[in-house]
Copies of this chain bind each other. A is one copy, B any other.
Amino acid sequence: MTFTELPVERANRLINHGPTVLVTSKYQEKANIMTAAWCMPASHKPPMVAVSIGLKRFSHELILQGKEFAINVPNSKLLKEMWCCGTKSGRTKDKFALCGLTPVVGKHIEAPLIGECLGAIECRLESNPLAGDHSIMVGEVLAVWAKPGVFEERLRVEKEEAQTLHHLGGKDFCVPGKIVTI
């Protein structure tokens, strides 16, 4: 199934509620995926997002070299694939093949998007401030994508295909439950 493009201002609403995401990166012929729970929107104008990535990660290298990345949002059906991306290294293996995910060509960046995810945010690396043993990769949003039906003003987490995964710690995740409206 293909993605539908959303306005860049809506990138924040794919990740505003704190889902665990899959970060894709590419430099020359090498592409990678990593799982990241530490991700947030960072700016409205221009739209930016931030993801904290360990200094020793292969994706850290690729993002600094390629100067771009994508934030892909998996749904709960991708639990095993997400766990695979978070526990294996892509330094010597192709993570797409290893974890059974499909690379999809983006509009603005070389790094592939993940076809199975419910949405994706294409980013140009804007800055990479250090925070302890991680770098905060700050990306300016270039394009935003969502599968048909999962996004209408906000992510429709009440639908099964838009049930995001939220890492509590260890092997435990939660998915969104009740919607509460003020």
Contact = CB atoms under 8 A, between A and B. Distances in A.
Interface of A: 12-13, 15-19, 37-48, 50, 52, 54, 76, 79-80, 83, 126-127, 129-134, 136, 138, 140, 153-155, 157, 163, 165-182
Given A42-B132, A43-B52, A131-B43, A182 B171 contact: yes
B45 A132 contact: yes
B16 A50 contact: no
Contacts of A129: 127, 129, 136, 138
Given A37-B16, A43-B132, A80 B182 contact: yes
Nearest to A138: B131
A159 to B, nearest CB: 12
Given A46-B132, A52-B42, A136-B129, A16 B167 contact: yes
